[in-house]
Amino acid sequence: MQQTNPALHSSPADVSARARRSWNATDLSLIAVFAAVVAVSAILPAIPVGQVGVPITLQTLAIMVTGIVLGPWRAGAALTLYVAVALAGLPIFSQFRGGIGVLFGPSAGYIIAFPVAAVLVGFLARLVFRRLDRHRFLGLFAACTITSLLITHPFGIIGMMINAKLDLGAAIAADVVFLPGDILKNLAAAAIGLSVIKAFPRLQSRP
């Protein structure tokens, strides 16, 4: 009788569940630590931009580093923890904001994107580490940039269209001002993430 490997028929939810069950105390500690790192990056002095008032912060840098270092599931858990605690009322969003009311502001789309972006950049970073022996820095920079363009900026644009009542063109114009800074932050995230993994290679060996 031919036996089949159940892993071949596992859904993404099953894979995620197995990853969570395999987390140990170190993994949970890393999730909490990186959630705190994102919180610190958010409450550092922010620069409001344009009439909409969405600020420039170091959050996206911290999110990309989290994804590179922790991989998709732990990074997603860290950002989910950060967003959940902030929405519960702790003032750890940018400009010392907190509470559910933030979801009705112009930054809502970016905030909702945080866990999704962490998962995607973590997944792409894992591919880079597994398949590239050379040019990993460029691969990680590409992973961060792809995540920014596919997740962070589209979610942010949609959020401004809904909450700030901007049309598509105006929302894109409000979002474009973040692109130069994101490029610099993605370069920094790739360098920091690569340095951390070189120093602690076992971090990328976890599920």
User: In the prediction, which pLDDT does 1 show?
Assistant: 46
Coil, helix or strand for 47?
strand
Domain ranges of the chain: 23-205
φ, ψ of residue 57 to 5 degrees: the values are -135, 180
Q: List Cα–Cα distances, 184 to 127, 187, 191, in angstroms.
A: 22, 5, 11
* Domain 23-205 CATH assignment equals 3.40.50.2300: no
Question: Residues 122, 68: contact at Cβ < 8 Å?
Answer: yes
Distance CA 67, CA 118 (A): 5
Which residue bears the tokens 């159940």? 6
- Closest residue by Cα to residue 153 from 176, 169, 121: 176
Write out pLDDT tens, residues 113-152. 999 999 999 999 999 999 998 999 999 999 999 999 999 9
Token pair belonging to 15? 């894979």
For the four alpha carbons of 64, 68, 74 and 76, in that order, the dihedral sign comes to: positive
Please name the amino acid found at residue 37: V
Q: With 0-12 CB in 10 A as exposed, 13-18 as middle and 19+ as buried, what is 96? A: exposed
Give me the tens of pLDDT residue by residue for the chain, a chain 207 residues long: 445 555 445 555 554 555 555 789 999 999 999 999 999 998 876 676 666 667 778 999 999 999 999 999 999 999 999 999 999 999 999 888 999 999 999 999 999 999 999 999 999 999 999 999 899 999 999 999 999 999 999 999 999 999 999 999 999 999 999 999 999 999 999 999 999 999 988 887 555
Distance CA 179, CA 176 (A): 5
